[in-house]
Amino acid sequence: MRHVIALDVGGTGMKAALVGAGTAPAGEAPPGAPVLLHQARLATGRERGPEAVVASILDFAAELRAYGVRHFGEPAVAAGVAVPGIVDSERGTAVYAANLGWRDVPLRALLAERLGGIPVALGHDVRTGGLAEGRVGAGRGADRYLFVALGTGIAGAIGVDGRVEAGAHGFAGEIGHIVVRPGGIPCPCGQYGCLERYASAAAVSQAWAEACGEPEADAADCAKAVESGDPRASAVWQHAVDALADGLVTALTLLDPRTLIIGGGLAEAGDTLFAPLRTAVEHRVTFQKVPTIVPAALGDTAGSLGAGLMAWDLLAPTHPTDPTAPSEVTT
């Protein structure tokens, strides 16, 4: 069975899949999604150093290739890999990733050599997940969408007609670094008052830990406290929602998306997040059209599906413009 290798590399763990080109059976995935023929996970092991992480990726990919030969009768025809940090997709280089200690790793060439010379696509993690959400997830059918991931930081992907826009220099979608509170909390990017310092899962965790006096409390605990009626939690949560709405309205004004997809850890709060967020956005718009605001649909398979889609695009007669050109995020 014809298939591709998909790798989603994170700071803590790697998710991988063998992805078929067919449509997944009804009820097993969103309609039109490629088939996840096999899935596997592996600890990234970043404590072992950057060279060891690269070796693990190559070994993992080789194991997936061997699995495909054994179980599907042939090796993978292409591969896609999503990584964090700054990515130069044209050169196939992982330029920089602070959490992995990488600098200028020629990952595409290394993977192609290890996998027998097959074509390899290298992409940015959030944009790759956004690609999948747009094509086969919550944004399916939308010609213009914005995917926003609320994790340790906040990053976005701008979807246009089935591809993800990288921008002239590869920094499109960096919504987490929109300044929503001028002169506010310093951000590692060098600015003050960036959105991700107020509305990321990490920011909510820190604010709630301080408010409740429990150092180990996190954003999920805050959401549960909001649901139970804790006024301290409600204040922390609304503070984050207001900041997020301010950032999103700026994005809506510039991009005019038809669908706004919210993913990442904070989105797992469900209506506890989405109900006040929709209200806050609606109260802020004037002439702008409010998009459909929906939760991401693919969960932690988005990265693998997106990497698989990138790999299949390489085999298309005329594949879309590379959706994951150079980018930097702090998630």
- The pTM of this model reads 0.87
Average pLDDT of the residues in 124-133:
93
Burial class (CB in 10 A: 0-12, 13-18, 19+), 157: buried
* Phi, psi (rounded to 5 degrees) for 91: -90, -10
> Which residues share a beta bridge with 171?
none
Contact in structure between 4 and 18 (CB atoms under 8 Å): yes
Whether residue 284 is predicted with pLDDT greater than 70 in this model: the reply is: yes
How remote is the C-alpha of 47 from its chain's centroid? 23
Give the type of residue at 94: A
Residue 42's CB is within 10 A of a number of other CB atoms, namely: 16
Q: Does residue 195 carry a pLDDT above 90?
A: yes
> Cβ(238)–Cβ(246) under 8 Å?
no
Share of the chain above pLDDT 90, in %: 73
Which residues share a beta bridge with 326?
A: none
What per-residue confidence (pLDDT) applies to 30? 52
Which pLDDT belongs to residue 32? 56
Mean local confidence (pLDDT), 241-259 = 97
Name the residue among 309, 319, 320 with its Cα closest to residue 128: 309
pLDDT at 318: 57
Q: What share of the chain is helix, strand, coil (3-state, %, to 5)?
A: 40, 25, 35
Q: Output the six-digit token pair for 310.
A: 């990138």
Give residue for tokens 């990584």: 83
Question: 22 pLDDT band (50/70/90 cuts)?
Answer: low
pLDDT at 26: 46
pLDDT average, residue stretch 150-163: 92
6 pLDDT exceeds 80? yes
DSSP 218: -
**Is residue 331 over pLDDT 50?**
no
- Furthest C-alpha separation in the chain: 60
Name every residue whose Cβ is closer than 8 Å to that of residue 71 and which is 6 or more positions away in sequence: 38
Question: Does the structure show a pLDDT above 80 at 109?
Answer: yes
How far is Cα 141 from Cα 103, in angstroms, rounded to an integer?
A: 37
Q: Could you report the per-residue pLDDT of 68-99, keeping only the tens digit for each?
A: 999 999 999 999 999 988 888 888 999 888 77
Higher pLDDT among residues 251 and 162, named by residue: 251
pLDDT in tens, 26-77: 455 554 568 889 999 999 988 899 899 999 999 999 999 999 999 999 999 9
pLDDT for position 68:
96
Greater model confidence, 21 or 80: 80
pLDDT at position 321 is 41
What is the band of 24 on the pLDDT scale with cuts at 50, 70, 90? low
Average pLDDT over residues 188-203: 95
Q: Does the structure show a pLDDT above 90 at 209?
A: yes
Spatial distance between the Cα atoms of 331 and 328, rounded to a whole number of angstroms: 9
